[in-house]
Amino acid sequence: MTPGTVYLVGAGPGEAGLITVKGLRCLRAADVVVYDRLVNPQLLREAKPEAELIYVGKAPDRQAFKQEEINDLLVDLARQGRTVCRLKGGDPFVFGRGGEEAEALAANGVPFEVVPGVTSAVAAPAYAGIPVTHRQWASSLAFITGHEDPTKGPSALRWEQLAGGVDTLVFLMGVGRLPAIVENLLRHGRDPRTPVALVRWGTYPVQETLVGTLGDIVEKAQVANFQPPAVVVVGEVVRLREKLRWFDTKPLFGQRVLVTRARAQASVLAELLREQGAQPIEFPLLRIVPLDFQARLEELLAAGFPFDWVLFTSANGVTVFLEALRKLGCDARVFGGVKIGTIGPATKEALAPWGLKADYCPRTFVAEQLAAEFPEPPQGLRILLPRAREAREVLPRTLAERGARVEVLPVYQTVREEGNVPAIQEQFQRGEIEVVTFTSSSSVRYFRELLGEVPLAGVTIACLGPQTAETARQLGLSVDVVAEEYTVPGLVRALVQHVQRGKEHG
């Protein structure tokens, strides 16, 4: 059998968006993903559903596999003819032992490629506002391991050259040996006033940065109980942090936000939260299940689709309804002469991939407004309303009262998603969730059903729209944020404004 190819892929420093385009392509194409401890779990979702995921992570005090076992595993998987993505934190060849793995593959005749990644030696300082080089402060740079190979004898580090001959020193995996690092630098002539920064979990929303000097950083780290994984930056460039820090000043930085949307929709909200510095915790409480409405749809098509308007109240309704049309061999021509109305920009945008445009979208994204501002007299109009089974009756009732002939066509329903309830309950018990977001009344109800009376003192409750907020209040929740614009971006903006007001008022 012809061996498969092994791709030694750098996953980047932590933030999932920092993987390279080629690295992501290799990950998505792999039959097997062999990954390390510091790989962001979010990246593993990019693997194809049938891909095998194998964890081989090492921690300072334990390891799942020895390096020789990892080398043999890669060779064995490739000899089975499988495409392997060896996903490694940072860059494979920067203290990632990728060179050893490549040697093993080459020795066994296994094809391989190296896909470089963004190393934490550069990214973690950058996210802390520290450029590792600067024309005025640093023209030379060294990356140094904090953990040399214990089998090779005395240290190979030339401390006298490092202490006096390099402007910026970046130690990876160095926090555990910080006292020894500092002692060696001072003994070989580095000024004790030299700035030092420790950057923990760099590029993640939980990033922590501790700044001191060679003279006091060991004591500061002990007082703060500063733990790995972290990089150590030594040099004058650390002074630029107060001027250049950008990541940990984001409005929602460090806020742990529970995202309760359906799994297929959660990523949009989660990404917007990350852009504001938050740490989204995805806990889908519902999923969208299409209903069997094909027979009625076939009858409507056979009758010439006899409607003046089709009104969509959600992006889910658009997707489910138009997908059913596609399966019946139909396309946008079905809507020839039929006008389309939508509630909200997300629903409006959902039409675009199908070559459709909305003729009407009310200024306020609620059913009451759509009915009140209808662009022509409803009297005698034939209106189709594809929607959720559990949707409110206000829209069809109001239009019918004004003389329209409305057909409600349930096309999907929301059902409760169970999820890892014990893990979320524990996070609430430990006070590890600062914000809960709700984008629908269903998500509020399912939250109460699944999590009951979890402690919510001090937790911010943020709702998308007044209907969701009203449901939350009826179920005993104290609502802190209601988005004035009933969209996911509007919800995030409202949350940012709420947090900023809280900071201003101390």
- Count of CB atoms within 10 A of residue 49's CB? 5
Q: What phi and psi, each to the nearest 5 degrees, are found at residue 57? A: -65, 150
> From the candidates 72, 76, 91, 173, which is the catalytic residue?
173
Q: Is 463 helix (H, G, I), strand (E, B) or coil?
A: strand
For 422-457, b/e burial (b = at least 16 CB within 10 A) is: eebeebbeeeebbbbbbbbbbbbbbbbebbeebeee
* Separation between Cα atoms, residue 59 and residue 506, nearest integer Å: 39
> From the candidates 36, 88, 91, 348, which is the catalytic residue?
36
Q: Is 96 helix (H, G, I), strand (E, B) or coil?
A: coil
Decide if 121 contacts 143 (C-beta within 8 A). Answer: yes
Residue in the structure block whose two tokens are 């209903």: 291
* Separation between Cα atoms, residue 131 and residue 123, nearest integer Å: 9
* Separation between Cα atoms, residue 428 and residue 403, nearest integer Å: 50
Q: Which residues pair with 280 in a beta bridge?
A: 257
Angle between helices 466-474 and 441-451 (to 10 degrees): 30
* Separation between Cα atoms, residue 466 and residue 485, nearest integer Å: 10
Q: Which residues pair with 342 in a beta bridge?
A: 312
The one-letter amino acid at 250: K
Q: Is 54 helix (H, G, I), strand (E, B) or coil?
A: strand
The one-letter amino acid at 58: K
Q: Is 339 a catalytic residue?
A: no
Decide if 121 contacts 96 (C-beta within 8 A). Answer: no
Q: Is 173 a catalytic residue?
A: yes
Q: Is 58 a catalytic residue?
A: yes
> From the candidates 1, 22, 48, 58, which is the catalytic residue?
58
Decide if 38 contacts 16 (C-beta within 8 A). Answer: no
Which tokens in the block code for residue 51? 């891909």
- Report DSSP letters for 70-124, one per residue: HHHHHHHHHHTT--EEEEESB-TTSSSSHHHHHHHHHHTT--EEEE----HHHHH
* Separation between Cα atoms, residue 354 and residue 342, nearest integer Å: 15
Q: What angle do CA 235, 238, 241 make, to 5 degrees?
A: 170
How far lies 211's CA from each of 157, 199, 200, 358, 502, in Å? Answer: 24, 9, 12, 54, 27
> Which residues are known to be catalytic?
36, 58, 173
